Amino acid sequence: MPLFLTFPDWIKPEIIPGLPVRWYGLMYVIAFAITYWLFTVQVKKSGQAISKDTISNFFFSGLAGMLVGARIFATLIYSDNRLEYLTQPWLIFWPFDHTGQFTGFAGMSFHGGLVGVLLGFILYSRAKKLDLLQWGDWVVAAFPLGYTFGRLGNFINGELWGRVTTAPWGMVFPTGEPLPVSEPWVQDAMHQTGITATGALVNLPRHPSQLYEALGEGVLLWLLFWFVVKDRKPFQGFLMGAYLIAYGVVRFVIEYFRNPDKGLDFIIVFQPGTTTSQLQVPLFNFSMGQILCFLMIIAGALTLWGMSAYHKREGLLAAAVEMKKKGKRSRK
C-alpha cells in the first residue's frame, strides 16, 4: 500500500479553463478583503473619529507598497532570471511570458512585501500625520489570517513544495522536481513509500510546506495576535515588534521542511555534502528565507526594545510634569 498522498487532480490553477483567471489571484483578493475587514474592526473599536477615506487610503497605500516590494524581491533575489530583470527592469511588472501568455504577477516574496508595506504605511502616515505605531498594530492583528489564503494559493498552484519525505502525509506534486533513481537515498525513499519508477527519474513525495505555512504563519499567528496579544499590549507598536519575532521564528522552523529556492540553495553552509532534496534536514545549512527571518527577529527585538524605552521615557516625563503641577498647586 502506497504511503503517500497524491496532489488532487481536480485542483487546477485556472478557475475556468481557458480563461486568464486563476485561483492564486482570487486567493489574494480574499486575503486583502479579510485583512481590510479585520483592520476596520480594530479602527472602529478604538472609538476614534476617523473617516472611511483615511482608513481605506492608509490600507491601500500599504497594499501598493506590498505588491511592488514583493515583486521586486521575487524577481531580483529569488528568480533564476534575475539578470534579465536587472537589464530589462520593466519586465518585473510585465504580466506576460515570452510567448505572450498571461501569467499575472507570478512570483511574490513575503519579505519584499513586508518591506514594501512598511514603506507605504510610513509615507502615508507622515503625509497625513497619523500615529504609525497605532495603525501598524491594527494591521498586524488582522494580517495573519489574510496571509493564510496566499499560501493556499501557492498550494493550488502546486508550487513552493517542500523537501522529500517518507511521512505518510508526504505529497507527490505534479510540478515536483524529478530525482535520479540511481541515488541510494532516492531508492530508500522509494522503498519506504512504495513508489515505483518507469525511467531514470522519479517524483518523490514532499512536505506540503505551503499548508504548514498557511497553518503556522497564518491561522495560528492570527489566533495568537487577535485573541491573546492585541488587547494586552503594553504600548503602541508592541504588536508590530512581536509579529516580526513570531513570524520570523515560525517561518525559520518551517524553512527546514521547505525546499530552498532554486538557484539559491543554501546561502550559509556548515554541513557540506548535503543537498537540498535529502531526507535528513541539514540543521546548520541556512536558506535565504532563514537569513531574512533571522533579520526579522532582530528587527522585531530592536523594535520592542526601542518602543519600550521610548514609552518609559514618555511616562517618566509625564510623571515629572504632573509632580511639578502638584507642587505648584500645593504652594498656592
Rg (CA), the chain: 24
Alpha carbon 331 to its chain centroid, in Å, reads 59
Confidence of residue 110 (pLDDT cuts 50, 70, 90): confident
Q: Inform me whether the pLDDT recorded for 328 exceeds 80.
A: no
Alpha carbon 210 to its chain centroid, in Å, reads 11
Measured between alpha carbons, how far is 111 from 8 in angstroms, rounded to an integer? 30
Where on the phi/psi map is residue 265: left (φ > 0), alpha (ψ -120 to 50), or beta?
A: left
Confidence of residue 265 (pLDDT cuts 50, 70, 90): confident
Q: Is the pTM of this model over 0.85?
A: yes
For the chain, give the longest Cα–Cα distance: 97
- Region 58-63: mean pLDDT is 94
| SS3 track for 280-301 | CCCCCEEEHHHHHHHHHHHHHH
Reduced to 3 states (helix: H, G, I; strand: E, B; else coil), residue 5 is: strand
User: pLDDT exceeding 90 applies to what percent of the chain?
Assistant: 56
Closest CA to 118 of 161, 167, 82, 68: 68
Q: Is the dihedral of CA 220, 222, 227, 233 positive or negative?
A: positive
Give me 311's grid cell: 514609552
Measured between alpha carbons, how far is 140 from 24 in angstroms, rounded to an integer? 23
Total number of residues shown for the chain: 332
- Region 236-264: mean pLDDT is 91
Q: CB neighbours of 122 closer than 8 A, spacing ≥ 6?
A: 132
Q: Inform me whether the pLDDT recorded for 323 exceeds 90.
A: no
Give me the pLDDT at residue 207, please. 95
Q: Inform me whether the pLDDT recorded for 164 exceeds 70.
A: yes
Question: How high is the mean pLDDT of the chain?
Answer: 87
Q: Inform me whether the pLDDT recorded for 133 exceeds 90.
A: yes
Q: Inform me whether the pLDDT recorded for 274 exceeds 90.
A: no
Closest CA to 112 of 63, 78, 71: 71
The larger pLDDT score, comparing residue 87 to residue 97, is at 87
Indicate the domain borders of the chain: 5-331
* pLDDT tens per residue, range 14-34: 888 777 778 888 998 999 999
Confidence of residue 105 (pLDDT cuts 50, 70, 90): low
Reduced to 3 states (helix: H, G, I; strand: E, B; else coil), residue 180 is: strand
